[in-house]
Amino acid sequence: MRGTPETRWIKVSGCKDANILAESLGTGPTFIWAHSLMGSMAQDMEGAVLAWRELTDVARIIRYDARGHGCSDVTGEPEDFRWDNLARTLWQVTDTYTEDKVIVGGASMGCATSLYAACQRPEQIVAMVLVIPPTAWELREKMKRNYNFIAKFVNITRGLPFRLLKLIPAARGDAGFQRRVMSVMARHLPKINYRGIVGAMRGAALSDLPPLEELKKLTMPVLILAWPDDPTHPLSIAEKLHDTLPNSQLEVIENADDPYAWPQMVRKFITALPRAQ
C-alpha cells in the first residue's frame, strides 16, 4: 500500500439518511470497492478476500463502510439495506469523488451491490470485478430464511452472540485463508452496533441478484473470481453469471483457502482495460 488514505464522511439518502465513511488511495482509473455482508474497511485492512492494497499503483481505490457496517451509521429501514439500494449508496459515494467512468467491484454482498450499480448506470462503468458471488435465484430462498432468523435472534439478544466471538482464539499464521478471514471478522464483530447487523440481515433477506435478462444487457468487461465448496458463495452462481454476462471471464481457484493469485489477476485485468493503458 502506498501513501495514506484520504478519508471523508458522505451523507447518503434513503428511507432514512445516513453518514457513510469512505476513503481513497492510489493512482490510476477509479475502482470502487464494496465489502461483504458484516464486513468493513477495517476488516479488509486485516484480512480482505481480495488484497486490494496490492493494486493502489494501478488504480485509485475508493472504499467505504456500507450503511450499518463499520463506522457508518446504522440507521435505516430494511429497504435501505436492500442490495439495489446499497448500489444507490455506492453511486452517491462515487459522485462525491468523480463524474468519470469507473470500475466497480466487491465481494459477496459487494458483488451484488456492483451488479445492481451496473444495471442502474451501465454507461458509467468501465468494468466490473465480481468476487465470490452470493447465493441467488433458485438457491436464494433458503438463505433469505436464514437471514431473517439471524436478524431476529441478534435483535432479541442485542448482539450477544457476536460479543461472545471475542472469546474464540485468533487463527494462527499457518491457518488456511478462509479461517484467517473468519478470524478477522470474529475480532471485529463484537465492536459493532448490533442494530447494523439486524438491518443488513433484513435487507439481505429482501434481496436477490438482478434478473438474468437484465444482466444479459451488461456489455462491459467483467472478471469473476470464485472458489469451490462454499454453500454461501456457490460456484454454480459464478458459472451462471459467466454464462449470462456477455463479456466476462471466470477464474476459479482449486482450493478455497488459496486465493493469493487474485490480486495479480485483477492487476492484469485493470491494466488491459482501454482507460488504463
Taking only the tens place, the pLDDT of each residue in 244-262 is 999 999 999 987 777 788 9
The pLDDT value recorded for residue 183 is 67
User: Cell digits for 211?
Assistant: 434478473
- Spatial neighbors of 260 by CB under 8 A, at least 6 apart, are 51, 177
pLDDT tens string 143-193? 999 999 999 988 888 777 666 665 555 555 555 666 666 666 666 676 778
The pLDDT value recorded for residue 269 is 97
Residues 76-92, mean pLDDT to the nearest whole number? 97
Q: Please give the residue that has the higher pLDDT: either 265 or 183.
A: 265
The pLDDT value recorded for residue 180 is 67
Q: Is pLDDT above 90 for 82?
A: yes
Q: Rounded to whole angstroms, how far apart are CA atoms 184 and 170? A: 8
pTM of the model: 0.90
Q: Is pLDDT above 50 for 276?
A: no
Residues 71-78, mean pLDDT to the nearest whole number? 94
Q: Is pLDDT above 70 for 115?
A: yes
The pLDDT value recorded for residue 277 is 39
Chain centroid to CA 147 = 17
Q: Please give the residue that has the higher pLDDT: either 177 or 59.
A: 59
User: Please, what is the angle between helix 109-120 and helix 83-97, to 10°?
Assistant: 70
Q: Is pLDDT above 70 for 127?
A: yes
CB neighbours (10 Å) of residue 18? Answer: 21
Q: Indicate the fold that domain 6-136+209-276 takes in CATH.
A: Rossmann fold (3.40.50)
